[in-house]
Amino acid sequence: MEIIIAKNYDEMSKISAGIIACEIRKRHDLVLGLATGDTPIGTYNALVDMHKKDGLDFSKVKSFNLDEYIGLAPLHPNSYNFFMRENLFKHININSENVYVPQGNTDDPEEFCLWYEEQIRKAGGIDLQVLGIGSDGHIAFNEPGSSLASRTRVKALLKQTIEDNSRFFDKIDAVPRFAITMGVGTILEAKKLLLIASGKKKADVVAEFIEGPVTSQITATALQLHSYATVVLDLDAASKLKRTEYYNWVRDNKQLVQKKVGR
Ligand code: GLP
């Protein structure tokens, strides 16, 4: 895992947008996995800027979102579908036919999950998957105890997640109890992973997932099993890490490290 510690949220967003843009420039028909939440908003804003100012081209990019609340229609203002349109899709030249977000109001979630996996397979797999982290250590909606081999499925949400995400809803009772989510196994099949985290409230769980043992109780620890995972943090989110000096040395000596380890 490569750990990059940025000065603040703004720098974290620019670095992660730079990583995504670099992959799109290398491969115009990149298959990009996308995440929601407050954390990636700055990254998406920076990508929109690169599209408007430098012509970053999304016309051939395919995107797959990680998750969606069960019961919310794509146009519902609290749906992740709506979030993606407002924060990214409507500002760039992505082809709507290439955009995949799980459908929260599907009549048959089980069938839908199989179909979603099939679409990822047909696209040739995800090249770069963007991830955030929940305060309970989840990636997508893979709550504690999720199998590290899990596939796209319906998951019941933890009370802590419902409380965390209630800030986007009028009242806590309006937060759906279930979601469709890519599984940890689905996420691990992406060729590259990019997890971003910011703020003091993520500091404990960030330290646990980077420096603690792999456990299904903190599904982000599954990144330790991946051969190409990058984590971009701001100083607050990185504040409980023990090996900061080492991560910074690797970052500051990137050319030397690349020459020796080939990455
Ligand atoms: C939700 C999403 C996750 C996201 C998490 C953190 O639970 N399902 O994909 O990583 O929120 O969100 P935030 O960035 O707002 O802290």
User: Cα(239)–Cα(231) distance, rounded to whole angstroms?
Assistant: 14
Name the β-bridge partners of 232. Answer: 4, 196
Looking at residue 100, its pLDDT comes to: 98
Give residue-wise pLDDT tens across range 95-130.
Answer: 999 999 999 999 999 999 999 999 999 999 999 999
Is 86 a catalytic site residue?
Answer: no
For the cut 80, the answer to whether the pLDDT of residue 133 exceeds it is: yes
Indicate the helix (H) or strand (E) that contains 230: strand 229-234
Average pLDDT over residues 250-256: 89
Token readout for 41 is 């908003």
Give residue-wise pLDDT tens across range 12-50.
Answer: 999 999 999 999 999 999 999 999 999 999 999 999 999
Name the β-bridge partners of 130. Answer: 194
Which one of 51, 138, 234, 236 is the catalytic residue? Answer: 138
Looking at residue 258, its pLDDT comes to: 82
Looking at residue 92, its pLDDT comes to: 98
Average pLDDT over residues 186-190: 98
Q: How far is the CA of 141 from the centre of ligand 1 (A)?
A: 8
Q: How far is the CA of 37 from the centre of ligand 1 (A)?
A: 4
Looking at residue 61, its pLDDT comes to: 98
Is 91 a catalytic site residue?
Answer: no
Q: How far is CA 262 from the centre of its chain?
A: 25
Where residue 163 falls (left for φ over 0; alpha for ψ -120 to 50; beta otherwise) is alpha
Q: How far is the CA of 197 from the centre of ligand 1 (A)?
A: 10
Closest among 151, 33, 168, 47 to 101, alpha carbons compared: 33
What percentage of the chain exceeds 70 in pLDDT? 100
Q: How far is the CA of 83 from the centre of ligand 1 (A)?
A: 12
Closest among 99, 10, 34, 3 to 60, alpha carbons compared: 99
Q: Which amino acid is at 246?
A: Y
Is 49 a catalytic site residue?
Answer: no
Looking at residue 52, its pLDDT comes to: 98
**Ligand 1 site: residues with CB under 6 angstroms?**
35-39, 66-67, 132-134, 140-141, 161, 165
At 259, the pLDDT band (50, 70, 90 cuts) reads confident
Q: What is the DSSP string of 82-130?
A: HHHHHHTGGGS---GGGEE---TT-S-HHHHHHHHHHHHHHTTS-SEEE
116 CB neighbour count, 10 Å cutoff: 24
Token readout for 88 is 């990214």
Name the β-bridge partners of 194. Answer: 130, 230
Pairing of strands 2-6, 229-234: parallel
Average pLDDT over residues 211-235: 98
Give residue-wise pLDDT tens across range 136-181.
Answer: 999 999 999 999 999 999 999 999 999 999 998 999 999 999 999 9
Looking at residue 28, its pLDDT comes to: 96
Of the residues 133, 139, 178, 200, which should be mutated to test ligand 1's pocket, given the most ligand atoms within 8 Å of the CB?
133
Indicate the helix (H) or strand (E) that contains 192: strand 192-197
CA distances from 104 to 67, 73, 108, 151 (A): 9, 6, 10, 17
User: Cα(23)–Cα(59) distance, rounded to whole angstroms?
Assistant: 14
For the cut 90, the answer to whether the pLDDT of residue 262 exceeds it is: no
Which one of 67, 127, 234, 236 is the catalytic residue? Answer: 67
User: Cα(89)–Cα(100) distance, rounded to whole angstroms?
Assistant: 11
